[in-house]
Structure 1
Amino acid sequence: MPIYAVLDVSDKATHVCVVDVEGAVLRREVMASDPAILAKWLGRYCPDLVRVVMETGPLSTFLYHGMVARDVPIECICARHAKGVLSARVNKSDVHDAEGLAQMARTGWFKRIHMKASATHFDRAAIRIRAQLITARTAMINQLRGLLKLFGLQLGSARAPGKRAGRLSVLYSQRPDLEALFAPLLASIEAVEKQLRNLNSNLEKRAASDPVCARLMTVPGVGPITALTYTMSIEDPRRFARGDDVGAYAGLVPRRSQSGERDTQGHISKAGDPMLRHSLYEAANILLTRLKRPCALQTWGRKMAEAKGPKRAKIAVARKLATLLHSIWLNETEFRWA
């Protein structure tokens, strides 16, 4: 008799629920969130296993690849979709969630998630670390600016390390007692900037050595970070039937609420991969504001900015870039200037 299992995963323990083809619960268990333990238990108690389902989460990648390596027929489903189904229950608990997910696994009414390879997650981790370092540097520099204002001093627009050091030397000549006070904060800023330079250099070399990234970087506004983020987020361009679907995957399409005579389009959905969305928006911003050599996409975006505002224009250009990069990747071509 075909049976279906679900894993309701948490950091320490995983609730397992097994149901038959009629939806009757056959077995429940709580085990450690370890793929070896889970695969061993499923192989022992679920000989006719058809499908194992779990939601997306922090441990989903680790468990998915561990279970696949042990020949477990596992699939990962969209947590947002699952939340909508599980919200029908009055009381929320791990046991109820596991049983509800098991019924979803039995009926097949769920959205499968493409699980990225382990090597892809290694590169994505480098991009995330870079973003975190930039956030830390920005916070510390803003803290420095705010503390200087307490003493009537202004750092000004000195962003480069050399200009900042020169500006601080001028300010310290007015208040020599502040140099020792701000030394720990400045040392931390310099350490973060050093790590950022090293990481940026490694990422640029990684993008230059990848033929796909090299082709994507021929598009105006697209640099090494955007090219790497795009290839790591998409991974396989053939899993999208159309290039326009990439914009929806990045959350760059408007939300729609339609019922009867009401049909409203709101702000962008912001669903999907936020790293991809942010990198495409940044590339669109560079294309519209910094690019000196004109191109058709820039001209189209600037006309939209005049009609609907710069923010909407950047989103629209980012959506166009998502489609354009998908076409270049799929067709193995390069950008041609008009």
Structure 2
Amino acid sequence: MRRGGDWKRGTVERPVGAPVFDPTDERGEETERATSASPRLSSTLLQRGKSDAADAEAICEAASRPKLRKNFVPIKSPEQQGAQMLARVRNQFIGRRTQLANSIRGYAAEFSFTAPRGLSRLQQLLIDIRDDTTVPNLAKELVEALAIELARVHDQIAKLDKKLMQLHRSNEMSRRLAAIPGVGPIGATLLSIKVVDARGFKSARNFAAWLGLTPKNHSTAGKNRLGVITRAGDGMLRTVLVAGATAVIADMRRRGSRPWSWLKDMIARKPPKLVAIALANKLARIAWKLMVSGERYRPASAVPMPTPT
């Protein structure tokens, strides 16, 4: 709590929607930070009932456990909060665009019109519907309304992409991360926005686990059983890394470029999706190393390359 213009050091529970800013007093001087904990931590430690006293006891219990401290909400500046909002709003518009495109395809299929995959193929589908005399005028008007909304959302995404690229060019860390194969400008910008403090992770392995790129463990009686990935952490970051890894693998197959030695062996033995997850895990570890060390990506030292034959 705040007394005499200063923050008392302590732990507070952060409700959904509450800003997590670095607190400063009215003079603009930096004050003591209060640790912000996720409500999930205290809710798992409640014994019975719900009261302020029970909540406070559970929060103190969560703050005293070292293994739970890694789940504390990191302190963000207002600029970081705004940048994260940009990433989330962009993702919402992308979901809306996909929804509109699928709606157009579904309604067109009711009149026996189909189109191949890809947003670029929808334009010809719309032209075919407009020119067909068997389609009722009402259906044409409704499809046209969906097409107008789709174009508006697409333009909005393009504007947000420009803002995202501006953030990328102005952020030195983002420019370094973009050099990693499969990460690119968008992935690098999202990493620099969403990972507030990479030093909060003890190792690259912990960072990959935080992104949900490690398998679930179902081991018992001395038998190790690894299942699907945990899908923990930020789904947007995980999706971008997996998509980038998939593109890297596809590019290797298309161009016939030399793959990394471990990746070449895995491609020959494992399913494609599993290989993409493994490569995304590797890319996340490389990104963590660059964020912590401040170094630039060096392909020869990042991942061993096979010796040419």
* TM-score normalised per structure 2: 0.80
Counterparts of 1:229-268 in structure 2, within 5 Å, are 229-258=190-219, 261=222, 263-268=224-229
What is the CA–CA distance in structure 2 between the aligned matches of 1:281 and 1:174, rounded to whole Å? 41
CA spacing shift, 1:263–1:334, aligned 2, 3 Å = closer
Q: Residue 100 of structure 1 aligns with which residue?
A: 57
Q: Residue 276 of structure 1 aligns with which residue?
A: 237
Matched, 1:69 2:2: no
Matched, 1:182 2:182: no
Are the equivalent residues in 1 in contact too, given 2:215–2:228 (CA < 8 A)? yes
What is the CA–CA distance in structure 2 between the aligned matches of 1:282 and 1:241, rounded to whole Å? 26
Deviates more, 1:144-153 or 1:234-243: 234-243
- C-alpha root-mean-square deviation of aligned residues, in Å? 2.9
CA spacing shift, 1:94–1:219, aligned 2, 3 Å = same
What is the CA–CA distance in structure 2 between the aligned matches of 1:79 and 1:308, rounded to whole Å? 40
* CA deviation string 1:95-152 (max 9, x = no partner): 3652432441685564252323322221111111111111101111111111111122
Q: Residue 48 of structure 2 aligns with which residue?
A: 90
Matched, 1:227 2:188: yes
1:53 counterpart (3, 7, 11): 11
What is the CA–CA distance in structure 2 between the aligned matches of 1:151 and 1:172, rounded to whole Å? 12
Are the equivalent residues in 2 in contact too, given 1:53–1:102 (CA < 8 A)? yes
AA partner of residue 211 (structure 1):
E
Are the equivalent residues in 2 in contact too, given 1:140–1:189 (CA < 8 A)? yes
Matched, 1:173 2:173: no
Are the equivalent residues in 1 in contact too, given 2:11–2:60 (CA < 8 A)? no
Q: Residue 22 of structure 1 aligns with which residue?
A: none
CA spacing shift, 1:296–1:80, aligned 2, 3 Å = farther
* CA deviation string 1:156-197 (max 9, x = no partner): 44622xx53333223322236243232211110010011111
2:275 counterpart (307, 313, 336): 313
CA spacing shift, 1:327–1:158, aligned 2, 3 Å = closer
**Secondary structure of the residue that 2:36 maps to in structure 1?**
strand
CA spacing shift, 1:103–1:196, aligned 2, 3 Å = closer
What is the CA–CA distance in structure 1 between the aligned matches of 2:213 and 2:117, rounded to whole Å? 33
AA partner of residue 176 (structure 2):
R
**Secondary structure of the residue that 2:183 maps to in structure 1?**
coil
Larger Rg: 1
AA partner of residue 55 (structure 1):
E
CA spacing shift, 1:157–1:256, aligned 2, 3 Å = closer
Runs of 5+ in structure 2 lacking a partner? 26-30
Q: What is the CA distance between 1:320 and its match in structure 2?
A: 0.4
Deviates more, 1:264-273 or 1:247-256: 264-273
**Secondary structure of the residue that 1:69 maps to in structure 2?**
coil
Deviates more, 1:220-229 or 1:74-83: 74-83
Are the equivalent residues in 1 in contact too, given 2:87–2:190 (CA < 8 A)? yes
AA partner of residue 299 (structure 2):
R
Matched, 1:192 2:153: yes
Aligned residues: 286
**Secondary structure of the residue that 1:294 maps to in structure 2?**
coil
What is the CA–CA distance in structure 1 between the aligned matches of 2:122 and 2:110, rounded to whole Å? 18
CA spacing shift, 1:55–1:286, aligned 2, 3 Å = farther
What is the CA–CA distance in structure 1 between the aligned matches of 2:236 and 2:243, rounded to whole Å? 11
* Structure with a larger share of its residues in strand: 1
What is the CA–CA distance in structure 2 between the aligned matches of 1:173 and 1:59, rounded to whole Å? 49
Runs of 5+ in structure 1 lacking a partner? 1-37
AA partner of residue 92 (structure 2):
Q
Q: What is the CA distance between 1:244 and its match in structure 2?
A: 2.3
AA partner of residue 168 (structure 1):
L
Q: Residue 24 of structure 1 aligns with which residue?
A: none
Q: Residue 155 of structure 1 aligns with which residue?
A: 115
AA partner of residue 234 (structure 2):
D
What is the CA–CA distance in structure 2 between the aligned matches of 1:125 and 1:72, rounded to whole Å? 26
Are the equivalent residues in 1 in contact too, given 2:211–2:231 (CA < 8 A)? yes
What is the CA–CA distance in structure 2 between the aligned matches of 1:327 and 1:102, rounded to whole Å? 32
What is the CA–CA distance in structure 2 between the aligned matches of 1:153 and 1:328, rounded to whole Å? 49
Q: What is the CA distance between 1:259 and its match in structure 2?
A: 5.3
